[in-house]
Amino acid sequence: MNLKEKIVSLNQAIKIRAQWKAANEKVVFTNGCFDILHPGHVLYLNEARLMGDHMILGLNTDASVKRLKGPTRPIQSENDRAIVASGLWAIDLIVLFDEDTPFNLITTLMPDVLVKGGDYTFDTIVGAPEVAAAGGEVRTIDFVEGKSTTRIISKMTEK
């Protein structure tokens, strides 16, 4: 598959999700900025993908990242971040979202498994009550210590 084919609109994702559901295939969803892809991201995404048959990544747009992380972010454009992420075997689809949270994506696609990092709890995971109410699972994955985009940026700017 061409890497850019993994990057789809919400309408395309809805159609593909419906096909997977009809085939009784389990869909995992996670989201984030994934600004500077690092080993912690790769391990997290691989572990999440193992929880189902397919994984959809909700990727924050540049405007969304800027609102969440500040005026100096993102480091890489949404297109570049999407292309890099699409190269990972774990990710089947990438849907960009411009809102501050992926609530609309989650409630529209209604994954079988909603996954976030270990710094979240059920109460702080956007869409968790809705996924659970629909019979889905909400899971967290522990972080890899010492691996973060913030740490990489800090190391790059040290003198």
| All structural domains of the chain with their residue ranges | 3-157
Map tokens 């992926």 to a residue.
Answer: 102
Q: What whole-number distance in Å separates Cα of residue 101 and Cα of residue 158?
A: 32
pLDDT at 148: 56
* 144 phi, psi to nearest 5 deg: -90, 115
Query: 116 and 123 in contact (C-beta within 8 Å)?
Result: no
Q: What does CATH list as the number for 3-157?
A: 3.40.50.620
End-to-end CA distance of the chain: 42
pLDDT, mean of each 10-residue run, the chain (159 residues)? 87 98 98 89 95 98 95 93 96 97 98 93 96 98 66 61
Say whether pTM exceeds 0.75.
Answer: yes
Q: Is 41 helix (H, G, I), strand (E, B) or coil?
A: helix
- N residues, the chain: 159
pLDDT at 143: 72
